[in-house]
Copies of this chain bind each other. A is one copy, B any other.
Amino acid sequence: MDEAQRSGCPINLTLEVVGDKWSLLIIRDMMFGNRRHFRELLTKSEEGISSNILADRLKTLLDQGIITWADDPSHKQKGIYSLTEQGIELLPILAQMSGWGFKYLPVSEELGIRAKLLSQGGPKMWAEFMDELRETHLGVKRRKKAGLSVGERLQKAYEKVVARKGKK
Protein backbone atom coordinates (compact mmCIF):
# COMPACT_ATOMS: atom_id res chain seq x y z
CA MET A 1 0.00 0.00 0.00
CA ASP A 2 1.30 3.40 -0.81
CA GLU A 3 0.97 6.32 1.51
CA ALA A 4 1.41 9.08 -1.04
CA GLN A 5 -1.95 10.61 -1.65
CA ARG A 6 -2.88 12.46 -4.76
CA SER A 7 -4.88 15.24 -3.16
CA GLY A 8 -6.86 16.23 -0.10
CA CYS A 9 -10.16 16.17 -1.95
CA PRO A 10 -12.69 14.06 -0.08
CA ILE A 11 -13.86 12.28 -3.21
CA ASN A 12 -10.29 11.47 -4.16
CA LEU A 13 -9.44 10.25 -0.69
CA THR A 14 -12.52 8.06 -0.61
CA LEU A 15 -11.59 6.60 -3.98
CA GLU A 16 -8.09 5.88 -2.75
CA VAL A 17 -9.57 3.81 0.05
CA VAL A 18 -12.48 2.00 -1.59
CA GLY A 19 -12.16 2.97 -5.24
CA ASP A 20 -11.05 -0.34 -6.60
CA LYS A 21 -13.11 -3.11 -8.11
CA TRP A 22 -13.28 -5.31 -5.02
CA SER A 23 -13.39 -3.42 -1.73
CA LEU A 24 -16.98 -2.26 -2.01
CA LEU A 25 -18.09 -5.71 -3.16
CA ILE A 26 -16.61 -7.18 0.01
CA ILE A 27 -18.45 -4.56 2.06
CA ARG A 28 -21.61 -5.32 0.10
CA ASP A 29 -21.35 -9.04 0.92
CA MET A 30 -20.76 -8.26 4.57
CA MET A 31 -23.79 -5.97 4.66
CA PHE A 32 -26.36 -7.71 2.51
CA GLY A 33 -25.15 -11.29 2.60
CA ASN A 34 -23.90 -11.28 6.18
CA ARG A 35 -20.63 -12.89 5.17
CA ARG A 36 -18.32 -12.69 8.13
CA HIS A 37 -15.59 -15.29 7.55
CA PHE A 38 -12.81 -15.39 4.99
CA ARG A 39 -14.13 -18.54 3.39
CA GLU A 40 -17.66 -17.17 3.10
CA LEU A 41 -16.42 -14.03 1.42
CA LEU A 42 -14.25 -16.13 -0.86
CA THR A 43 -16.74 -18.71 -2.07
CA LYS A 44 -20.20 -17.27 -1.62
CA SER A 45 -19.81 -14.15 -3.68
CA GLU A 46 -21.29 -13.75 -7.11
CA GLU A 47 -18.10 -12.54 -8.69
CA GLY A 48 -15.44 -14.98 -7.56
CA ILE A 49 -12.67 -12.97 -5.96
CA SER A 50 -9.34 -14.75 -5.68
CA SER A 51 -7.93 -15.49 -2.27
CA ASN A 52 -4.81 -13.34 -2.50
CA ILE A 53 -6.82 -10.28 -3.52
CA LEU A 54 -9.36 -10.92 -0.78
CA ALA A 55 -6.60 -11.23 1.81
CA ASP A 56 -4.99 -8.03 0.59
CA ARG A 57 -8.25 -6.05 0.61
CA LEU A 58 -9.26 -7.26 4.05
CA LYS A 59 -5.88 -6.10 5.31
CA THR A 60 -6.39 -2.67 3.79
CA LEU A 61 -9.92 -2.38 5.12
CA LEU A 62 -8.64 -3.31 8.57
CA ASP A 63 -5.87 -0.71 8.34
CA GLN A 64 -8.39 1.89 7.29
CA GLY A 65 -10.68 1.16 10.21
CA ILE A 66 -13.56 0.09 8.00
CA ILE A 67 -13.71 -3.43 9.41
CA THR A 68 -12.40 -5.20 12.49
CA TRP A 69 -11.30 -8.75 13.16
CA ALA A 70 -12.03 -10.98 16.11
CA ASP A 71 -11.62 -14.61 17.07
CA ASP A 72 -14.58 -16.83 16.52
CA PRO A 73 -15.00 -18.61 19.87
CA SER A 74 -16.64 -21.58 18.15
CA HIS A 75 -13.63 -22.38 15.99
CA LYS A 76 -9.97 -21.80 16.75
CA GLN A 77 -9.08 -20.99 13.17
CA LYS A 78 -12.03 -18.87 12.25
CA GLY A 79 -11.99 -15.15 12.60
CA ILE A 80 -15.01 -12.93 12.34
CA TYR A 81 -14.85 -9.76 10.36
CA SER A 82 -17.19 -6.97 11.42
CA LEU A 83 -18.02 -3.58 10.03
CA THR A 84 -17.12 -0.53 12.07
CA GLU A 85 -19.36 2.52 12.26
CA GLN A 86 -17.19 3.97 9.51
CA GLY A 87 -17.81 0.88 7.41
CA ILE A 88 -21.53 0.88 8.08
CA GLU A 89 -21.70 4.47 6.89
CA LEU A 90 -20.57 3.34 3.47
CA LEU A 91 -24.11 2.06 2.99
CA PRO A 92 -25.49 5.25 1.42
CA ILE A 93 -22.71 5.13 -1.17
CA LEU A 94 -23.58 1.52 -1.98
CA ALA A 95 -27.27 2.37 -2.05
CA GLN A 96 -26.73 5.21 -4.51
CA MET A 97 -24.51 3.04 -6.70
CA SER A 98 -27.09 0.33 -6.54
CA GLY A 99 -29.83 2.71 -7.63
CA TRP A 100 -27.78 4.15 -10.47
CA GLY A 101 -26.77 0.71 -11.71
CA PHE A 102 -30.35 -0.47 -11.53
CA LYS A 103 -31.50 2.45 -13.62
CA TYR A 104 -28.82 2.42 -16.30
CA LEU A 105 -27.09 -0.94 -16.49
CA PRO A 106 -28.16 -4.48 -17.50
CA VAL A 107 -28.89 -5.69 -13.99
CA SER A 108 -30.18 -9.24 -13.56
CA GLU A 109 -33.70 -9.54 -12.21
CA GLU A 110 -32.87 -11.44 -9.03
CA LEU A 111 -30.00 -9.19 -8.11
CA GLY A 112 -31.85 -6.05 -9.08
CA ILE A 113 -34.79 -6.50 -6.74
CA ARG A 114 -32.80 -5.39 -3.71
CA ALA A 115 -31.57 -2.32 -5.57
CA LYS A 116 -35.13 -1.48 -6.46
CA LEU A 117 -36.45 -1.79 -2.93
CA LEU A 118 -33.49 0.05 -1.45
CA SER A 119 -33.86 2.84 -3.94
CA GLN A 120 -37.59 3.15 -3.32
CA GLY A 121 -37.07 3.04 0.41
CA GLY A 122 -34.75 6.04 0.29
CA PRO A 123 -32.61 7.47 3.09
CA LYS A 124 -35.13 6.50 5.75
CA MET A 125 -34.86 2.82 4.88
CA TRP A 126 -31.08 3.13 4.66
CA ALA A 127 -30.95 4.56 8.15
CA GLU A 128 -33.05 1.70 9.45
CA PHE A 129 -30.81 -0.84 7.76
CA MET A 130 -27.73 0.87 9.19
CA ASP A 131 -29.25 0.51 12.63
CA GLU A 132 -29.70 -3.18 12.01
CA LEU A 133 -26.07 -3.40 10.93
CA ARG A 134 -25.02 -1.62 14.12
CA GLU A 135 -26.79 -4.33 16.03
CA THR A 136 -25.25 -7.22 14.09
CA HIS A 137 -21.74 -5.85 13.77
CA LEU A 138 -21.28 -3.59 16.76
CA GLY A 139 -23.63 -5.22 19.23
CA VAL A 140 -25.62 -2.03 19.67
CA LYS A 141 -29.06 -2.96 20.90
CA ARG A 142 -31.98 -1.31 19.20
CA ARG A 143 -35.67 -1.15 19.72
CA LYS A 144 -37.49 -3.86 17.84
CA LYS A 145 -39.67 -2.49 15.13
CA ALA A 146 -42.87 -4.18 14.21
CA GLY A 147 -42.67 -6.61 11.32
CA LEU A 148 -39.70 -7.76 9.32
CA SER A 149 -36.35 -5.99 9.39
CA VAL A 150 -35.04 -4.31 6.27
CA GLY A 151 -32.47 -7.07 5.88
CA GLU A 152 -35.17 -9.71 6.07
CA ARG A 153 -37.41 -7.88 3.64
CA LEU A 154 -34.58 -7.61 1.09
CA GLN A 155 -33.74 -11.27 1.51
CA LYS A 156 -37.37 -12.41 1.13
CA ALA A 157 -37.82 -10.34 -1.99
CA TYR A 158 -34.65 -11.83 -3.47
CA GLU A 159 -35.75 -15.39 -2.70
CA LYS A 160 -39.17 -14.75 -4.16
CA VAL A 161 -37.68 -13.70 -7.50
CA VAL A 162 -35.34 -16.69 -7.51
CA ALA A 163 -38.25 -19.05 -6.81
CA ARG A 164 -40.38 -17.52 -9.53
CA LYS A 165 -37.57 -17.69 -12.08
CA GLY A 166 -36.84 -21.30 -11.15
CA LYS A 167 -40.44 -22.29 -11.81
CA LYS A 168 -40.60 -20.89 -15.33
Chain A residues in the interface with B (C-beta under 8 A): 6-17, 19-21, 24-25, 28, 46-48, 65, 86, 89-90, 92-94, 96-108, 110-112, 115, 123
Contact A47/B12 with A19-B20, A100-B90 known, Cβ cut-off 8 Å? yes
Contact A104/B86 with A7-B111, A46-B6 known, Cβ cut-off 8 Å? yes
16 contacts between A and B (CB under 8 A): A6-B46, A6-B47, A8-B46, A8-B107, A8-B110, A9-B101, A10-B99, A10-B107, A10-B111, A10-B115, A14-B100, A19-B21, A19-B24, A89-B100, A90-B100, A92-B99
The oligomer's copy count stands at: 2
Taking CB as reference atom, which chain B residue is nearest A101? B10
Q: Which 3 A-B pairs give the minimum distances between C-beta atoms?
A: A8-B108, A10-B101, A7-B46
Partner of A123, one of B65, B107, B123: B123
Contact A15/B10 with A89-B103, A97-B93 known, Cβ cut-off 8 Å? no
